[in-house]
A and B are shown apart, each in its own frame.
Chain A
Amino acid sequence: MYINTRIRVFIDVLKSLSRYGRFRVGIAIIAILIALSLISLASPPRYKQWYVYPKDRPPQLTSSIDMILGTTTNGRSVFWIMVNALANSLCIGLLTALIGSHIGLLIGLLAGISRGKTELGFILLIDSFVVLPGLPILIVLALALKQSMTIHTIPLILSVIAWAWPARNVRSIALSVMSRDFITIASFSGIKFRSILLYEVMPYVLGWHLTNFINTIIWAIGMETALAIFGLSILSEDTLGTMLYWVLNFNALFRGLWWWILPPIVLLILIFIGFYLISVSVSTYLNPRLRGGVA
Chain B
Amino acid sequence: MFGEYVISPQVSIKAVNNVSIELKKNEVIGIAGESGCGKSTLIKILYGFLQPPLTASGKVLLNTKGGLDLLSVSEDYKRENIWWKIMSYIPQNSMNVLNPFMKIGDHFVELLRKHLKIEKDEAYRVAEEYVMSMGMRKDVLKAFPHQLSGGMRQRVVVSLALLLKPSIIFADEPTTAVDVVLQKVLLQLLTDKQKELGATLVVVTHDMGVHAMITQKVAVMYAGRVVEEAPTEPLFEDPKHPYTQALINSLPRLGDDRPRIGLSGSPPDLRNPPPGCEFHPRCPYAMDICRREKPLRVKIDKDRYVVCWLYAKR
Contact = CB atoms under 8 A, between A and B. Distances in A.
The judgment on whether A and B are partners is yes
A109 B230 CA distance: 49
B100 A189 contact: no
Contact of A181 (B88, B91, B102, B110): B91
A194 to B, nearest CB: 12
Interface string B81-113: 011110011011100111111110000001100
Interface residues on B, range: 20 to 34
A200 B102 CA distance: 8
Contact of B144 (A182, A203, A288): A288
A1 interface: no
A45 interface: no
Nearest to B49: A188
Contacts, number: 60
Interface in B229-281: none
B137 to A, nearest CB: 15
B78 interface: yes
B101 A203 contact: yes
A181 B97 contact: yes
B114 interface: yes
B114 A191 contact: yes
A185 B111 contact: no
Interface in A168-215: 181-182, 184-192, 195, 199-200, 203-204
Contact of B91 (A184, A192, A199): A184
Interface residues on A, range: 20 to 34
B146 to A, nearest CB: 5
Contact of B101 (A185, A188, A195, A288): A288
Contact of B110 (A184, A188, A199, A204): A199
Given A182-B98, A185-B97, A190 B78 contact: yes
Nearest to B47: A188
Contacts of A186: 99
A174 to B, nearest CB: 14
Given A182-B98, A289-B100, A190 B84 contact: yes
Interface of B: 47, 49, 52, 78-80, 82-85, 88-89, 91-93, 96-103, 110-111, 114-115, 144, 146, 160
Interface of A: 115, 181-182, 184-192, 195, 199-200, 203-204, 287-289, 295
13 contacts: A181-B97, A184-B91, A185-B91, A187-B49, A188-B47, A191-B110, A192-B79, A287-B101, A288-B101, A288-B144, A288-B146, A289-B100, A295-B144
